[in-house]
Structure formats: structure tokens, C-alpha cells
Amino acid sequence: MNKHLKNYFKSFSFKRKFWEIFAIDFVTISIIYFFFALFANYLNKNMAILTSGQTPEQLQALLSSASPEQLLPFLTQLKSFMLTFLLGIAFLLIISLFLFSFSRALIWNKLHHRKLTKKTYWRWNGLNLALLFPLFLLLLIVVIVKLIFNIIFSKIFVLFPSFAVTHPQFMQIIQLILHNTVNFFLALLLLVVIFFTYYLFTDKYKVWLSIGESFNFVKVKWSRIWRMLLLSLSTAIILTLIILPLRKLLLPYQFTYFIINVCISLFYLAWLRIYLLRTVGHKV
């Protein structure tokens, strides 16, 4: 059997480390979601008190007819609400960063067979903030690549005008599949760069050096990585086909479907990390 396929099938042996990584991701996402949901609920209650249950149209009519003296209490409450909103969002973003960085540090130290310390943990916050800059540039490149593929796809469909006219639904499905495949492949490539940055950072704890070396690492290991990406993409397509029937069955239970989607996504990401490290020869 081809060594790449052999490594691919071996990556599905879900051992203790895989479940630990999955659990860390699930707990982290759950806590962040809980805090944001709690804050959103708090804001909704305060907004209801502020507007006294009036519709936007009623509120607009009231504000336009009220005198400055009558508006003063409302504007004071509105100012307090906006301040609470801004401070709350800032606080939640900081807490989310600390929690996310802590979870990444736990995961990648486990994969590196190392222990996390207080000193090394704080550096993870700096890494995640620093990653925003190259990720922004990479997203711009992704947008450009997507535009190029959109042009290519449109040119291909023009070659079959009569078929496109007689089978519009079929052509739309094909176009949707092609676009989603390209989008997911590019997303996987971004994840590979991020994962390699975390992988190298756990070894050296140098922020910008790890980010720079991750791109070179992808280049050096590309002969293995592109095969891994194709097999990972195939796995994602299979998972999507499995999930699709559940969408109709769980239509009345949107939150349940959301939880299932999150669990499958985290399951896939946990597997992807281990499969990626196995591909480049790291013992997990």
C-alpha cells in the first residue's frame, strides 16, 4: 500500500491523546460561547428596559416628537448602555484570547510531549496576536485566488452554453461544489500554516521566527503536504455527505443541529492536527 495512504488510514486510530485534544477544544468553545450568550442575554434585557418594549418605528416617532428635556433621561440611559456594551465586548475578547491561548498551549504541548509552564503560557497570547497580521495578508491572497478560480469556472461553463440552458439546476450544483471545494482547500492550507506555526513555536517559543519558519516548513514538506490536503479534503466531503441528511431531520431542532455541527468540526480538527504531524514524521 502507498505510504501516504497507509499513514492516512493509521491516523484514524483514535487514541487517548486524540480525545484529550477534542475535549480541550470542546470545553474551550463551550465556555467562550456561554460567556457571549450570557452577555447577549443581559444586553437584550437592558435594551428591552431602555425601549420599554416599543418597536423601532414607535421609538423613532417618540424621539422625533419629544423635547430635549424629555430626551435627557433616555440619552443618559443609552450612553450607559453603549458604555456597558463596549466594555463588556472588550472584556470578553480579552478573556477569550487568554482562554484560547491557554487551550492552544495545552494542545500543542501535549502533541510535543511537553509540560506547559506559566512562563511559556503568556507567550502564546503574543503569538496569537502576532498571527493576526500574516493571517490578514493570507486572507487577501485567498480572496484573489478565489476570484481567479471564479473567472476560470465561469469561462468553463461558457463552453457549454446549450447544456447550461437545458440543465440550469445541475450546472448550479456543479458550480456550488467546485466553489466550496476550492474554498475548503484554501481554508485547509491556512490551517496547515497556523498548525505548523504552533508546532514550531512549541519547540522554540520565538513568535516571529516561528511564523516565518512555518511558511518555509510548508515549502520543504510540500511533497507530503499536498497529498495530505487532498485526503483531508476527501474526508471533509464524506463527513459533509453524512451530515446533510441530518439537516432535514433536525430542522425543528436548530440548536441540536448546531451542537452536532460543532462536535463534528472539532472532531475533524483534532484528527487533522494528528494526521498533519504524522505526515511530517512527528510521533504523536
Q: Tell me the per-residue pLDDT of 106-117, one tens digit each, with 9 for 90 and over.
A: 999 999 888 888
C-alpha cell at 184: 475548503
Q: Is residue 82 part of a domain?
A: yes
Torsion, Cα of 139, 143, 144, 149 (10° steps): 130
- Higher local confidence (pLDDT), 87 or 246: 87
The number of helices, as runs of H, and strands, as runs of E, in the chain is 11, 0
Nearest to 267 by CA among 18, 66, 70: 18
| Average pLDDT of the segment spanning 44-62 | 74
**What pLDDT score was predicted for residue 241?**
81
Asked if residue 53 has pLDDT above 70, the reply is: no
Q: pLDDT band at 142, cuts 50/70/90? A: confident
Which residue range(s) make up the domain with 66?
A: 15-123
Say what the alpha-carbon torsion angle 102, 105, 111, 114 is, to the nearest 10 degrees: -110
Q: Please indicate, yes or no, if residue 173 is contained in any of the structural domains.
A: no
pLDDT recorded at residue 149: 80
- pLDDT of residue 66 exceeding 90: no
pLDDT at 157 over 70: no
Average pLDDT over residues 91-118: 93
Q: How far is CA 250 from the centre of its chain?
A: 23
- Whether 29 is in a domain gets the answer yes
Give pLDDT, residue 31: 96
Instruction: Report the residue count for the chain.
Output: 284
Query: Is 27 part of any domain?
Result: yes
Express each pLDDT in 215-264 by its tens digit: 898 888 888 899 999 999 999 888 888 887 777 777 677 788 888 889 99
Residue 249 lies in a domain: no
Percent of the chain whose predicted confidence (pLDDT) is above 90: 39
Q: 3-class SS at 10?
A: helix
Q: Has residue 109 been placed in a domain?
A: yes
Cell 513555536, residue located: 201
Cell digits of residue 101: 491561548
- Cβ atoms < 10 Å from Cβ of 211: 21
Q: 256 to each of 31, 132, 242, 261, 266, how far by Cα in Å? A: 17, 32, 16, 9, 15
How many angstroms separate the CA atoms of 264 and 221, rounded?
28
The model carries a pTM of: 0.86
How many structural domains comprise the chain?
1
Task: Give the residue carrying C-alpha cell 451530515.
Answer: 243
With respect to residue 64, please indicate whether it lies within any of the assigned structural domains: yes
Residue 77 belongs to a domain: yes
